[in-house]
């Protein structure tokens, strides 16, 4: 590796980062126009439209279902809400056990807590996917019948092995696809493997609307119940696509409505983002590949290879630090932040993705998960939003290499 190219900020040098690595995507102009019109007309509530073909949310639902290849999609107000509804649909009751990744974002165990169930945490692999081996072990040990699995930061476990466990034990499988837009296993888009898939449209995600979520399924009964849980009432199911009148009439008022609907403003700014996802994916993949070519061989960094059957969206990059103590890795993060590159280590600094920090679980977080601890304590997380290009990747790589040189040689 070449030596240091310049003085770092900590040594009195000038910052060379002149871009915001974390700036989120803006909404397409046509979406802004539609959202403003909805506000001007006072048509911000999805069920104000008597006809589903006039509602941005209803149209978004149909378009997203087509994009993913599922029969139904339901717009809700967050992925957390979608997961909570999914757990209700799975029949989870107070005190039940729900299998889930130990390495995920706090919103996931929080959804399990929301339904007053207890998570059973499963280990992760060094490529940050769920360990199918530990999943099988935990299914047998706990007797849990529901799996809520995150593709954390878009990382995909060996889905053949996971699906074997799901089928063998007849698990109800909920996919948390918050980070898994246009991510594939063996050519099949994630979101098509479980009974239900949940997506987030919070601003750091592939589709971005500040807040929002989507619940997808192929099962009509699950879709029918989901829209009632989200807060459809008094026959307003007729403003959703593909519902059966008799089924809806039978279900109406038997299911609580948790007021988790998506607003027309959100629907309006999301619709035109679906067709631009493929272009954004290309930018992400190109940046990711290029940055990997610049830093991937550094002796202090390890960027694990995805499974050959997996095909990623690549909107963020994670790498393991190698031969750096946790203290040195933490100083790497601090120096990166000083240089203008906001990065984090999942397993340090009270991070919301560190299961040991989920104190609201009252002890359920105090489990022994050595592989996950090892994987999150060495994992550096870098956001790569699509306004960045190869010239920014050159600068990011230079800063990373310089900081590592400083840490190693002073």
Ligand X SMILES: Cc1ncc(COP(=O)(O)O)c(C=O)c1O
- Using CB under 6 A as the criterion, which residues of the chain lie in contact with ligand X when the complex forms? 78-80, 104-105, 107-108, 150, 152, 176, 178-179, 200, 202, 213
φ/ψ of 118, rounded to 5, equals -120, 130
Instruction: Give me the half-sphere count of Cα atoms (radius 13 Å) on the Cβ side of residue 382.
Output: 29
| Closest separation in Å from C-beta 386 to ligand X | 18
Task: Give the separation between CA 271 and CA 292, rounded to whole angstroms.
Answer: 32
| Pairing verdict, β 97-101 and 146-150 | parallel
Q: Which of 332, 321, 341, 338 is nearest to 392 (CA)?
A: 341
In eight-state DSSP terms, residue 7 is: -
Q: Which of 25, 60, 68, 24 is nearest to 263 (CA)?
A: 60
| Closest separation in Å from C-beta 194 to ligand X | 14
In eight-state DSSP terms, residue 218 is: S
Question: 213 or 272, CB closer to ligand X?
Answer: 213
Q: Which strand (E) or helix (H) includes residue 97?
A: strand 97-101
Q: Which strand (E) or helix (H) includes residue 167?
A: helix 159-168
Other C-beta atoms closer than 10 Å to the C-beta of 52 total: 20
| Closest separation in Å from C-beta 211 to ligand X | 6
| Closest separation in Å from C-beta 182 to ligand X | 16
Question: 110 or 220, CB closer to ligand X?
Answer: 110
Task: Give the separation between CA 361 and CA 351, rounded to whole angstroms.
Answer: 16
The Cα diameter of the chain in Å comes to: 73
Question: 106 or 321, CB closer to ligand X?
Answer: 106
Question: 75 or 386, CB closer to ligand X?
Answer: 75
| Closest separation in Å from C-beta 151 to ligand X | 8
| Closest separation in Å from C-beta 195 to ligand X | 17
| Closest separation in Å from C-beta 150 to ligand X | 4
Question: 78 or 318, CB closer to ligand X?
Answer: 78
* 42 φ/ψ sector (left φ>0, alpha ψ -120 to 50, else beta): left
* 52 φ/ψ sector (left φ>0, alpha ψ -120 to 50, else beta): alpha
CA-based end-to-end distance of the chain: 16
| Closest separation in Å from C-beta 268 to ligand X | 18
Q: Which tokens go with 44?
A: 């911000």
Question: 200 or 372, CB closer to ligand X?
Answer: 200
Question: 153 or 320, CB closer to ligand X?
Answer: 153
Question: 77 or 287, CB closer to ligand X?
Answer: 77
């Amino acid at each position: 590796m070449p030596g240091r190219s310049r003085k770092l900020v900590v040594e009195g040098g000038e910052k060379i980062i002149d871009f915001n690595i974390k700036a989120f995507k803006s909404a397409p102009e046509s979406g802004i126009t539609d959202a403003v019109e909805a506000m001007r007309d006072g048509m911000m509530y999805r069920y104000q439209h008597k006809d589903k073909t006039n509602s941005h949310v209803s149209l978004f639902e149909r378009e997203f279902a087509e994009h993913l290849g599922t029969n139904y999609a339901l717009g809700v107000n967050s992925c957390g809400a979608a997961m909570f509804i999914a757990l209700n649909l799975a029949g989870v009751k107070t005190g039940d056990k729900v299998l889930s990744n130990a390495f995920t974002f706090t919103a996931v165990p929080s959804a399990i807590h929301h339904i007053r169930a207890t998570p059973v945490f499963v280990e992760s692999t060094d490529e940050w996917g769920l360990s199918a081996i530990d999943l099988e072990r935990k299914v047998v040990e706990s007797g849990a019948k529901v799996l809520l699995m995150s593709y954390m930061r878009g990382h995909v476990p060996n889905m053949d092995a996971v699906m074997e466990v799901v089928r063998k034990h007849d698990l109800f499988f909920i996919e948390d696809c918050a980070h898994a837009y246009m991510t594939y296993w063996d050519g099949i888009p994630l979101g098509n493997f479980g009974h239900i898939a949940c997506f987030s449209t919070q601003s750091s995600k592939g589709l971005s609307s500040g807040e929002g979520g989507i619940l997808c399924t192929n099962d009509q009964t699950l879709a029918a119940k989901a829209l009632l849980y989200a807060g459809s009432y008094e026959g307003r199911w007729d403003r959703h696509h593909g519902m059966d009148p008799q089924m809806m009439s039978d279900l109406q008022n038997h299911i609580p409505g948790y007021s988790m609907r998506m607003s027309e403003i959100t629907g309006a700014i999301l619709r035109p983002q679906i067709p631009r996802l493929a272009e954004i994916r290309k930018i992400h993949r190109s940046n990711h590949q290029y940055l990997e070519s610049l830093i991937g061989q550094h002796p202090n960094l390890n960027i694990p290879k995805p499974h050959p059957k997996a095909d990623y969206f690549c909107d963020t990059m994670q790498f393991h630090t190698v031969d750096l103590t946790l203290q040195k890795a933490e100083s790497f993060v601090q120096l990166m932040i000083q240089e203008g590159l906001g990065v984090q280590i999942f397993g340090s600094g009270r991070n919301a993705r560190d299961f040991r920090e989920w104190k609201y679980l009252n002890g359920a977080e105090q489990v022994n998960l050595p592989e996950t601890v090892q994987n999150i304590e060495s994992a550096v997380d870098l956001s790569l939003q699509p306004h960045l290009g190869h010239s920014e990747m050159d600068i990011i790589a230079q800063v990373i290499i310089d900081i590592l040189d400083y840490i190693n040689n002073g």
